[in-house]
Structure 1
Amino acid sequence: MPVYRRSYLKATRIGLCKASELSAVTDCDEKTRKSANKDLGKKAVERWECILHYLALPSQKSEQGVSGTTKRLFRSAGLTSSENDDGDIEITSAGFQFLLLNRSEQIWTYLLYYFHMQEVAGIDIIKELDFLFRLTLYSGDTSGGTRVTNGSDKERPAGSRAFLIDECWPEPTKDFLMHLRELGLVFIRKRKDGFFFLTPLLNHLTSISYASETGIENRNQNGFVIVETNYRVYAYTDSNLQLAILSTFTEMLYRFNDMSVGVLSREAVRRAFQVGITAAQIIAFLRANAHPTTYAVTTEYGGMIQSVPITVADQIRLWEDERRRLMFCNAAVYSSFESEKEYFGLKGYVSSQGILLWCDDVQRLMVITEEGHESVKSWWKMKTGKNGS
């Protein structure tokens, strides 16, 4: 019998507690329990959005809320870059695409990058994976209410259980637990307390319903963006994260308690292009987060596509095409030919080799690829050698 099947059957027989090998805290006082469980889901989301805020708008202020591990992960995964001389961190096209994922995809993608980074560093990830899978045995048991489970587990209030941080755990496991705390998957009020709580965010690792309910189709139920044909953008949100994402390609003009106003200017959009964000990604974000009112009005005429005016979407694409009018590459220029025969002889050779970029027969100028320069030198030496003999 395969190991996984044997382990699964054992878990259904003995119950979650014994199968997970996690020790529940029984002497946790009610005051501490209530304090920890108060707005547990909200605290978890705040932690995760703190990480996303750093990715969307890296700054000295936003980087205070993330660890060095997360910063290294974003750099190694290509989600952020530091290409200018000042060393400023900027989001990349891949990073912006990460922000477009639903929350389940974001968390899993982050964890996969994390485990890959650990492997590259020569760290054995088996114990970390084992610990994560044992935690997920309790997924669905973190949102409050009461549930009944199979095996030896009895009916209990869900989401109120604290688990012991065992001092016998290896250091990599303890470090991984602290990293899960940073992600918002577990909650630790104070490390000296010696126990932790699982948060509702952990459910995103195992539940299909959590993945689907945050998809683009359902995001419109909580959409907050209205784009007008005059390029004005109205954001009906007080979320710093959403506004940070929006400001990567929008020039923000005013901010009120629950609404901000900006404009899709050429300069702001081109700044986004310069760090690798594409027109398609900008338009996808605006459509995915379109205000329900806009979506409802335009459903008859194209739904999500029409939630961003066609003129605005086309202009964003045109601004992107502006940057593609010229292509720069290294090349070699040939001039001052002694005769017309010499010029056309070389032109015939470089044309046959496919290395000719441009020529002017009147002025006898020729531009060839940088790679073809060595080929021309060899050809010229061979030609002059034959003429000399």
Structure 2
Amino acid sequence: MEDQSSELFKSTINEYLDNLPETVHTQLYKSPETCLAIFRLLPSLAKFYIMLLLFQETSIPYSDLNRWIKNPNMHHVNPNKIYQNESIKRLKSLNLLKDIRKRVVHPQTGQKTEIPFVQLNPIFRTSFRNALTGNSGKLSNLFDDESDRITIEFLDNYCLNKWENILHFMVGSEIKQLPSIGVLTLLRYSGLMELPSDHYTPDGSKSLSIDTLSKLLITQNGFQFLLQDINSQIWTLLLQYLKMSEKLMMNPVDVLNFIFMLGSLELGQGYPITMLSNTQIIMLEDLVDYGLIYDPGEIEGNSNRNFYPTRLSTTLTSESCNFKTASTVIDQEISNANSEETKNSSNQGSIIIETNFKIYCYTSSPLQIAVLNLFIHMKARFSNMVTGSLTRESVRRALMNGITADQIINYLESHAHPGMIKMADEKLSKQLEYEQSIGNLNAVNELKLEILPPTVIDQVKLWQLELDRIQTFKGYLYKDFTNDYEFEKLLNYGDEIGVITWKDRLRRKFFVTLEGSSQLIDYANRILRKGGNSGGRSMTPSTQTPQPQPQPQPTTN
């Protein structure tokens, strides 16, 4: 499950763009807004190279790029060179930088030699120039100042309510109105939520009614999604939307151009829908459901209407956007709190947990309370604080919904009250001072900051072990060996490469993972046959149902 979670949340828009074919890149770079958005997503050195080549009509020698990298004159690897290689690789994967080899005559020897040159993608150069100089003409004529009632404060409240309504549905809070069927379908398609029947017949592409989708339950990936900053959450859903739009045969160029264009629009300004293509008009309806766009025409029924980007969309490619959660900085922007106390408290933790498993959380956010309710037993709620406790039943309920013990622990640590962190620092300093005074260097290296009580961490993990007493692995059972030599030889090799999950030396059997079986067969056919101990026959595993690996029974405190 950890691999699936990392695959879901480590997939960024950069990786998605890298995998697009060059023909799609060419179409994308015809849009100045898209070029500007992609430029913002590049590393700093890559941005510098873009600006260096932007007004350079001809190609330049590749060696000129090295002039901007400092050489630390060290014997080990130059980190600046590694950063340069990564930046250039990024530019080439996006087809922004083109390699050109030119034959030149050496001025001293007179011999012809090939020298590598680099050149900026000409289509990108033209569009990006227009984006910087304001010559694109596409956005300059779109502004409409006739509607003064659509204020930034209104748009902030609108997008906040839309987005947190989705998050409240994910954590199971009582909400007045369900998200749209498009949002629910995307949540299921992305694996953030699932139906109970999906364990048996998973089919995320099948269309279901809103009554059926209203029974969705949060998954492990969904809980991890709640812990991300709001910008990452939006990109996660948009990436899944891009993948789903491909299956719906929507034009990927139109979809990407619209998403990137939103990051270049001005907050609080209206733009006519007539500028959009048919695909983008379909997208408009979906993005309204996510709170990325406000469309007053939905209410007024006006076809010649304007749409308004919200703060969630205008900060998609912004580097200064630093939303910590879905209910912190946006809320702070709405209230325009100026006091230092309010600003500092929004970035501090709020959870205190005792060794008796009691939890105190200083918060008034309904969303944070709903997240806590996923794995703690709530006891009381006040105007600025809730109290509860970690119990076996509450943790098991979270575990059965796909939330892991490590996720619970990480959430409590990342939201720990500053007082708990201070106490943990003081305790660690005293331990370091004591161990250093007695010269116990091994203990000094093993010490670490313990924000949560160790008894709480151990007990949560033990509660998870109660549900994980048996683990299943896909693979093959090897048996019926002709002699001990074959068995020991293959078993030792399997242990060396780490593909053995279970073994029984007495009965001459062992179980190999699905990925490692081919390696073991190749080794058997190469080594054992050469040694003349296998009688010249090929070794193949006994194909049987994968056997579970037995695990010890945990004990609870």
TM-score normalised by structure 1 residue count: 0.70
Q: CA deviation at 1:349?
A: 12
- Say yes or no: does 1:135 pair with 2:262: yes
User: Deviations 1:296-324 (Å, cap 9, x if unpaired)?
Assistant: 44343469953322221221111112222
User: Deviations 1:162-205 (Å, cap 9, x if unpaired)?
Assistant: 22222x63443123123222222222345336223222222441
- Name the SS of the counterpart of 2:271 in structure 1: strand
**Change in CA separation of 1:281 and 1:204 when aligned onto 2, cut-off 3 Å:** farther
Q: CA deviation at 1:223?
A: 2.3
Q: Which range moves more in the overlay, 96-105 or 6-15? A: 6-15
User: Deviations 1:104-157 (Å, cap 9, x if unpaired)?
Assistant: 11111110011111112322232121122122113xx43xxxxxxxxxxxxxxx
Tell me the distance in 2 between the aligned counterparts of 1:63 and 1:9: 48
Tell me the distance in 1 between the aligned counterparts of 2:230 and 2:449: 23
CA contact (8 A) 2:424 2:450 kept: yes
**Change in CA separation of 1:80 and 1:319 when aligned onto 2, cut-off 3 Å:** same
Query: Corresponding residue for 2:455?
Result: 311
**Change in CA separation of 1:302 and 1:275 when aligned onto 2, cut-off 3 Å:** farther
Q: Which has the higher contact order (CA 8 A, sep 6+)?
A: 1
**Change in CA separation of 1:305 and 1:315 when aligned onto 2, cut-off 3 Å:** farther
CA contact (8 A) 1:250 1:263 kept: yes
Alignment: residue pair count: 315
- Say yes or no: does 1:179 pair with 2:286: yes
**Change in CA separation of 1:321 and 1:23 when aligned onto 2, cut-off 3 Å:** same
User: Deviations 1:261-289 (Å, cap 9, x if unpaired)?
Assistant: 11111111011111221111111111112
Query: Corresponding residue for 1:335?
Result: none
- Name the SS of the counterpart of 2:144 in structure 1: coil
Which amino acid is 2:144 matched to? V
Query: Corresponding residue for 1:164?
Result: 272
Query: Corresponding residue for 2:239?
Result: 112
Query: Corresponding residue for 2:311?
Result: 200
Query: Corresponding residue for 1:12?
Result: 132
CA contact (8 A) 2:413 2:452 kept: yes
**Change in CA separation of 1:315 and 1:271 when aligned onto 2, cut-off 3 Å:** same
Residue in structure 2 matching 1:320, options 454, 458, 464: 464
- Name the SS of the counterpart of 2:359 in structure 1: strand
**Change in CA separation of 1:51 and 1:15 when aligned onto 2, cut-off 3 Å:** farther
User: Deviations 1:344-385 (Å, cap 9, x if unpaired)?
Assistant: xxxx99934547xxxxxxxxxxxxxx9648xxxxxxxxxxxx
Tell me the distance in 1 between the aligned counterparts of 2:252 and 2:404: 35
Please list every run of 5 or more consecutive structure 2 residues that lacks an aligned counterpart in the other structure: 1-120, 199-211, 327-343, 430-447, 474-503, 512-541, 546-557
Query: Corresponding residue for 1:288?
Result: 414
- Say yes or no: does 1:24 pair with 2:143: yes
- Name the SS of the counterpart of 1:174 in structure 2: helix
Tell me the distance in 2 between the aligned counterparts of 1:169 and 1:318: 55
Tell me the distance in 1 between the aligned counterparts of 2:229 and 2:176: 23
Query: Corresponding residue for 1:68?
Result: 181
**Change in CA separation of 1:252 and 1:174 when aligned onto 2, cut-off 3 Å:** same
User: Deviations 1:8-66 (Å, cap 9, x if unpaired)?
Assistant: 101122257x24477211322x3x24xx4334323322221111111222x7x448341
Query: Corresponding residue for 2:353?
Result: 227
Aligned residues with identical type, % of pairs: 32
Please list every run of 5 or more consecutive structure 1 residues that lacks an aligned counterpart in the other structure: 143-158, 330-347, 356-369, 374-389
CA contact (8 A) 1:181 1:188 kept: yes
Q: RMSD value over aligned CA atoms?
A: 3.5
TM-score normalised by structure 2 residue count: 0.50
Residue in structure 1 matching 2:390, options 264, 279, 284: 264
- Name the SS of the counterpart of 1:238 in structure 2: coil
Which amino acid is 1:53 matched to? H
- Name the SS of the counterpart of 2:356 in structure 1: coil
- Name the SS of the counterpart of 2:321 in structure 1: helix
Q: CA deviation at 1:79?
A: 1.0
Which amino acid is 1:12 matched to? L
Tell me the distance in 1 between the aligned counterparts of 2:416 and 2:346: 6
CA contact (8 A) 1:287 1:307 kept: yes
- Name the SS of the counterpart of 2:308 in structure 1: strand
Query: Corresponding residue for 1:210?
Result: 321
Q: CA deviation at 1:220?
A: 7.9
Q: CA deviation at 1:327?
A: 4.8
More helix by share: 1
Q: CA deviation at 1:80?
A: 1.0
Counterparts in 2 of 1:371-386, with a 5 A limit? Answer: 372=544
Q: Which range moves more in the overlay, 73-82 or 297-306? A: 297-306
